[in-house]
Amino acid sequence: MKRLSPGKPIILLTFLVVIWGLCWPVFKVTLAYTPPLLFGGMRNLLGGLFLVVLAFPRRRLIRWRETWPIYFISALFNSILFYGTQTVGLEYLPSGLFSVIVYLQPVLVGVFAWMWLGESMSALKITGLILGFIGVAAVSTEGLSGNISLLGIILALGCSVSWALGTVYVKKTSSAVDPVWLVAIHCLIGGTVLTGVGLGVENAASIVWNSTYWFGLLYGGILGIAVSWVIYFKLVNAGEASKVASFTFIVPLISVLIGTLILHEPFTFYLVLGIVLIVTSICLVNRQSSAGRVPRNTRNSGVSPFLE
């Protein structure tokens, strides 16, 4: 794994959570002009094609014959199941409750990484992950009202579990594939499946090809999927998956803050509480042990202490 220079992880993480945080309000507006499955599939296809163009000079790194199962498994968890359950699930649950369940992901990544990657697990880290989840719940409390559907809860859990499994799987197989080609191919596979399903169950003629739709498609495909997933996997592969995942607790916080500042949504006590809990969570999960112990999977990796 290529060494990350000091300070670079912080820059990449900041860029990542801002991009993902902006996705929620952008998509909320865009979905008024497009069916959801088609939008999800076309975003993935656009993101995959964008990365193919960028990575084409390095096409020898694909090594399809040896690594094709990795591309398909990553596509299954990180694209088809993640975006499919997310898109359909939002039809059955209030967005606030859905986001709370989805952001069990960092907690699940901590457990899966401990079980399958041998990453460290301590009472401090467990406490931090739980506090982060509670913080997300506090931030999303305004959206917790509405009809509760068992199917919606199952789909939200499926979204969270698929994202967590996909993250840990990519970390485990990172030495075998190029990260840019991994995201490019899993987006193309996932985008093809989602678009195909969308064409079967949705009406493509209902897409309104206005500037709002184009902005949402371009933003979601290039920044929200292509660029951000490459950064996410790069960070996960360079450090502890659970610690990187803990920073995604900030994503719903940014979405709510944008709603407060731009859409004039209320600034509540629960938002302040969520901010405090999420910041505390990240500090606890990323805190160095008193003995300065480094998990075995990150020794000699050249990772910044920020992620160790």
173-207 pLDDT per residue, tens: 988 999 999 999 999 999 999 999 999 999 999 99
Domain presence at residue 2: no
Report residue 12 as tokens: 């990449």
Compare 279 and 189 and report the one with higher pLDDT. 189
122's torsion region: left (phi>0), alpha (psi -120 to 50) or beta?
beta
Q: Give the separation between CA 71 and CA 186, rounded to whole angstroms.
A: 6
Domain presence at residue 233: yes
Q: According to the model, what pLDDT value does residue 308 have? A: 41
The domain of 155 spans 8-307
Domain presence at residue 3: no
Q: Which of 120-129, 132-141, 232-241 has the lowest mean pLDDT?
A: 132-141
Of all residues in the chain, the percent with pLDDT exceeding 70 is 84
The average pLDDT across 73-94 equals 87
Question: What predicted TM-score, i.e. pTM, was given to this entire model?
Answer: 0.81
4: helix, coil or strand?
coil
Residues whose CB is less than 8 angstroms from the CB of residue 308 and which lie 6 or more positions away in sequence, other chains included? 239, 240, 288, 294, 295, 298
pLDDT at 90 over 50: yes
262: helix, coil or strand?
coil
In this prediction, residue 1 has a pLDDT band, given cuts at 50, 70 and 90, of very low
Domain presence at residue 182: yes
Q: According to the model, what pLDDT value does residue 3 have? A: 55
Domain presence at residue 1: no
Q: According to the model, what pLDDT value does residue 78 have? A: 94
Contact between residue 1 and residue 238 where contact means Cβ atoms under 8 Å apart: yes
200: helix, coil or strand?
helix
Q: How many CB atoms lie within 10 A of CB 280?
A: 16
pLDDT at 279 over 90: no
Considering its fold, how many domains does the chain have in total? 1
CA distances from 218 to 39, 44, 51, 72, 183 (A): 11, 10, 13, 24, 17
Q: Over the chain, what is the mean pLDDT?
A: 83
In this prediction, residue 215 has a pLDDT band, given cuts at 50, 70 and 90, of very high
